């Protein structure tokens, strides 16, 4: 009888311990589920030389996000969003991490936390050969964004390029052609809806390399002033200081063991310089 009472008593203690431990484990598991916003991209129309891939820009962002999640031992759900929604949704706390070529700016710093820099970026005009010839003749052979007048400029909505051209447009009589993605920005040139596009130089370099020769070209100097260049980061909600430390630790480890460089070289090798 004593034997059975002892077993019953031990069973009760084990059950009580399980009730204490399981909620803790469940809460810990929930804490490692992260929603990650990545950059939405679109496919260029048939003028481009397609290699059948969904787009190295999107794949690069996704690969970096997944590797960070793996090192955080987090179960991440990735969702592709238009660029301005990445910033607003992460800022609102609807996503715990954003990976979408986001430049650090003082205004964004009031709303977001920034990881350590991923790489540096600048902006540059891209134009059709016809537009470059016409505007070069009217500007003493020099094409500069500040000297352009009555030109149609394509920019991705919600970006620093969009903000900058919008500020110039009234005085310079520029027509802003808004695009939904970086690929769509270039598509406006290919379709004849714009004379020039102001684009992040590294992303544009990748897209132009896939176009037939002399379809579109860079023109004018690289621009970094007025928020058009700087460092690119992953972004987090303003309150996510603990997660930020983990993300930076993961990025440090990725660089130390060469994983970061391998991912860059696989999708956009010109970023690895």
d(CA 141, CA 138): 7
> Are the beta carbons of 127 and 189 closer than 8 angstroms?
yes
Kindly state whether residues 201 and 221 are assigned to the same domain: yes
For residue 129, tell me if it sits in a domain: yes
Domain range for 81 is 34-118+231-272
Cβ atoms of 65 and 38 within 8 Å: the answer is: yes
92: CB partners within 8 A, 6+ apart: 237
- The answer to whether residues 45 and 129 belong to one domain is no
Residue 26 lies in a domain: no
Report the domain count for the chain: 2
Q: Are residues 146 and 70 in the same domain?
A: no
- Residue 205 belongs to a domain: yes
pLDDT tens digits for the chain (273 residues)? 544 444 545 454 544 444 444 444 444 445 489 999 998 877 655 444 444 344 577 788 999 999 999 999 999 999 999 999 999 999 999 999 999 989 999 999 999 999 999 999 899 999 999 999 888 866 566 788 888 899 999 999 999 999 999 999 999 999 999 999 999 999 999 999 999 999 998 888 888 888 898 899 999 889 999 889 999 999 999 999 999 999 999 999 999 999 999 999 888 776 555
Closest CA to 212 of 102, 59, 50, 55: 50
111 in a structural domain = yes
User: 99 and 136: one domain?
Assistant: no
Give the three-class secondary structure for 123: strand
Assess whether 188 and 243 both reside in one domain: no
**CATH number of the domain bearing residue 159:** 3.40.190.10
Residue 129 and residue 206 share a domain: yes
For residues 253 and 219, state if they share a domain.
no
Q: For the whole model, what pTM was predicted?
A: 0.75
């Amino acid at each position: 009888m004593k034997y059975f009472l002892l077993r019953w008593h031990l069973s009760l203690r084990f059950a009580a311990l399980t009730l204490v431990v399981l909620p803790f484990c469940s809460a810990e598991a929930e804490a490692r589920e992260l929603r990650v916003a990545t950059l939405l991209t679109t496919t260029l129309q048939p003028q481009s030389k397609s290699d059948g891939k969904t787009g190295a820009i999107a794949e690069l962002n996704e690969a970096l996000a997944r590797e960070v999640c793996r090192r955080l031992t987090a179960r991440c759900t990735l969702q592709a969003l238009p660029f301005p929604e990445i910033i607003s949704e992460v800022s609102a706390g609807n996503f715990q991490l954003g990976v979408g070529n986001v430049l650090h700016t003082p205004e964004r710093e009031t709303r977001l936390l920034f990881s350590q820099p991923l790489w540096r970026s600048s902006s540059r005009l891209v134009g059709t050969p016809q537009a470059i010839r016409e505007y070069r003749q009217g500007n003493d052979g020099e094409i500069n964004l500040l000297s352009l007048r009555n030109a149609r400029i394509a920019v991705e909505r919600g970006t620093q390029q969009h903000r900058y051209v919008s500020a110039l447009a009234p005085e310079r009589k520029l027509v802003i052609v808004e695009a939904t993605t970086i690929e769509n920005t270039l598509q406006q040139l290919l379709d004849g809806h714009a004379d020039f596009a102001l684009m992040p130089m590294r992303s544009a370099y990748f897209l132009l390399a896939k176009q037939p020769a002399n379809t579109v070209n860079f023109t004018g100097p690289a621009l970094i002033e007025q928020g058009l260049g700087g460092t690119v980061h992953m972004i987090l909600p303003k309150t996510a200081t603990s997660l930020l430390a983990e993300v930076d630790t993961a990025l440090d480890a990725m660089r130390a063991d060469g994983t970061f460089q391998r991912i860059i070289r696989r999708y956009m090798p010109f970023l690895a310089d």
